[in-house]
Amino acid sequence: MEPPARSHGTKQIRLTAQPRDLMAETARAGAWTASIVTLFPDAFPGTLGLSLTGSALKAGLWDLRVTDLRRFGLGKHRNVDAPPAGGGPGLVLRPDVVGPALDEARLPGPLVYLSPRGTPFTQATARHWAAAPGVTLLCGRFEGVDQRVIDHYGLEEVSLGDFVLTGGEIAAQAMLDATVRLLPGVLGNAASTEEESHSAGLLEHPQYTKPAEWRGHGIPPVLTSGDHAKVAAWRRAQAEALTRARRPDLWAKRGA
């Protein structure tokens, strides 16, 4: 009897002790690469595997590599953490676990530890990472990572915002989404990144589309006038007004 034909929608997965290159079959030589060190490798690619970033990943426009930190754990139970020196609550990721993982996962480009005490991630950060060969991200957990790891590797600490998450995985996905969309070929229209929020130090202007009337609300007449100069001026004025009202910190930087 012949074995049943396999469905085209079925993907064969082989377990391995080595870190996975999630799209090794399609990644182009020299493609921009993100390397992630995490206790939860199954969190990736996550939303990065969807929509434009996912299509670009499958097309080999960028590459994603994930290293399971637990693989470097110590002892029978592969422990990765220990109580903080000097006492206190929680646990700290051990340097003799994180160090070997970084040695294996590190790639050319920024070497980053995702931390709530880090420098805020901005559009400028995304542009900087996109211009590099790639980025290596260490996702924190518990009370963080031993300071000696940060000092030894010169890790750049970067924060998603002024709040605390249970780990760095969600932050990593958000930062990589912002970065990958800037890579050549990921967005169908490169101009899309030129007028959006933060690209010129301003928030983006309001957007409208069909239908012309919706529940008593119409599209501003200038947008249907066909006068491109007036449209550009209107959008600029709207962007400036929104930035002044909602982000006075950004507006202040423009006059600095």
Q: Is 74 left (phi over 0), alpha (psi -120 to 50) or beta?
A: beta
92 labelled as ligand-binding? no
Is-contact 177 50, C-beta < 8 A?
A: no
In angstroms, what is the C-alpha Rg of the chain? Answer: 23
Q: Where are the beta strands (DSSP E) in 140-196?
A: 156-159
Q: Is there a binding annotation on residue 97?
A: no
Query: Which DSSP helix (H) or strand (E) runs through 97?
Result: helix 95-105
Q: What would the two tokens of residue 75 be?
A: 């002892």
Q: In this structure, what are the phi and psi dihedrals at residue 179, rounded to the nearest 5 degrees? A: -85, -50
Known binding residue 165? Answer is yes
Q: Is 161 labelled as part of a ligand binding site?
A: yes
199 CA to centre of own chain:
17
Q: What one-character DSSP code corresponds to residue 164?
A: -
- Is 72 assigned a ligand-binding role in the annotation? no
| Sequence-separated (6 or more) residues with CB below 8 Å from residue 180 | 32, 34, 48, 53, 56, 62, 130, 186
Distance separating alpha carbons of residues 94 and 146, to the nearest angstrom: 6
- Give the β-pairing of 20-21 and 156-159: unpaired
Q: Is 164 annotated as a binding residue?
A: yes
The residues pairing with 37 across neighbouring beta strands, listed in sequence order, are 67, 138
| Alpha-carbon gap, residue 23 to 59, rounded angstroms | 9
Cite the annotated binding site for S-adenosyl-L-methionine by residue number.
140, 160-165
Cite the annotated binding site by residue number.
140, 160-165
